[in-house]
Amino acid sequence: MNKPADPNTEGMDFATVMASTVHDMKNTMAMMLQTYETWLERLPPELTEAPERGIIQYESMRLHGMLVQLLGLYKMETNRLPVNPGYFDVEDFLQDQLARHDDVLRSRHITGDYEIEEDGLMGFFDHDLVSSVAANVINNSIRYAKSTISLRAWMEHEKLIISICDDGEGYPEAMIEQQANYAAGIRMSTGSTGLGLYFGQQIAQLHQRNDERGYIELRNDSPLGGGEFRLILP
C-alpha cells in the first residue's frame, strides 16, 4: 500500500528547501562567530594575536557573506526581498564597513582607509543590502591586496558612487572586458563563481530613481594601482 502524501510537504520544491537550509546555516554561522569572539576575549594576548585568528575570521566572514548572497538571490527570484531605502551619512557608512573588517585587516597587516568628496555627504539607499555588497567586495580586496585597501565616495551626475579599491594585481582583463556577462567570472581553477558580482549587480538594480537603475563597474585604474569596484546608485 502506498503511503499517503503528507499535506505539509506536498508541493515543496528543492529551491525552497535549499533557501530554508541556507537561512539556518547563516544563523548558525552568525552564532559561531559571536561565540568565537566571546571566547577570544578570555584568551591571553599571545594567543589572540596568533595568525590563525585572521584566517578563521576571514574565512568565516567569507562563508557568511556567501550564504547571505544565496538567500538574497532566492528572495529576489521569489519577489520576497524587501528594499527599504533611506538617507544615510556616507562617511558613517564607510567607517562602519572598515570597522567590521578591522581584526582581519590588522591580522593581515593591511591598511584600510576611506575618503569622501565632501563633509556631510548623504546617500539614499538600503543600508543592509548595500552593506552586504560592500562586505563581499572588501573581503575579496583583502584576499588580493598587498598592503592597502581604500573606500571612497562621491557624487557624479547626481549619482552616488561608492568605490572599493586595493593595491593588488587588479581584475583579470577578461572580467573587465565582459562585465555584462558575470557568469564569465566562473573559474574552476581559482574557485571563483562570479556570485559576488552577480549579487552586487542585482542589489544595485533594485535602487531606482526616475527610470534610472543602479549598476556596478569594474576598473583597473584605481588610485592604488590595483582593481576597483564601483557601486553607482541613482
Cβ(205)–Cβ(215) under 8 Å?
A: yes
- Find the Cα–Cα–Cα–Cα dihedral 150, 178, 221, 73, rounded to 10°: -10
Confidence label for 192 from pLDDT (cuts 50, 70 and 90): low
Q: What is the pLDDT of residue 72?
A: 79
Q: Which three cell numbers stand for residue 173?
A: 582583463
pTM: predicted TM-score of the whole model, two decimal places: 0.77
Q: What is the pLDDT of residues 124-140, one digit of tens each?
A: 999 999 999 999 999 98
Q: What is the pLDDT of residues 76-106, one digit of tens each?
A: 777 778 888 999 999 999 999 999 898 889 8
Confidence label for 9 from pLDDT (cuts 50, 70 and 90): very low
